[in-house]
Amino acid sequence: MTDHCSMNKFILLPGLLLLVAILFTGCTTEPSAGLPLVTPVDTTPIVTPQTPSGTVVGNPLTTPGPVEISIKASPEKYIPLMSSTVGIGLTPIYTGSVDVVYSWNTSYGYFISWNAPDGKVNQLGDTVETTNETIYWSYPHDDMGKEKPPVTVRLIIKRPPRVHGGSGTIAWKDIHIDWENTDTAVIEQT
């Protein structure tokens, strides 16, 4: 009997190894001998939300269009001796529909707020953030008669800051001011 049991163990071990080898030979991702590889099919049912009336509802996906921005400047020529205005009025022309903050900065000169009905004029500096659409640009009276640099005024339209942080630039636009006869600021035409 002892010989018979040891012989069964001797046959059983190679038999198990052969069985394992056969099972693992079918576990490849390569198609064998030109046979097509079967692609698994997803059989999960698609569920479409419906109202009680049976009409399908969904959330439409909207892609925002490009935002167009320009700056209306008036008057197109300005010198601080003019009595009709405190500077060149700059008004953003913006096609978006969300509430925004206008961020202005200038490479030379400063911005002014002017409330025409009551005549209040406030000098604001060379960088300003405001929700008012029109702002004015001017330069120091003391610089009249002096050579002045070309000017770039940049408008950045942003979303208002939020309590939890974050705002975002929506669009920006530059205008350029050159000089005529040393003291007359002239909006550069593009």
In a domain, 133, yes or no: yes
Q: What's the average model confidence in pLDDT over 24-35?
A: 51
In a domain, 68, yes or no: no
Q: How many domains does the chain have?
A: 1
In a domain, 20, yes or no: no
Token digits for 174?
A: 């530059």
Around Cβ 182, how many Cβ atoms within 10 Å? 12
Around Cβ 4, how many Cβ atoms within 10 Å? 7
In a domain, 162, yes or no: yes
pLDDT interval class at 168 (50, 70, 90): confident
Residue-range definition of the domain harbouring residue 179: 73-187
pLDDT interval class at 188 (50, 70, 90): very high
Output the domain CATH number for residue 90: 2.60.40
Q: How far apart are CA 101 and CA 90, in angstroms?
A: 15
- Strand, helix or coil at 16? helix
pLDDT interval class at 25 (50, 70, 90): low
In a domain, 136, yes or no: yes
Given a cut of 50, is residue 31 above it in pLDDT? no
Q: How far apart are the first and last CA of the chain?
A: 107
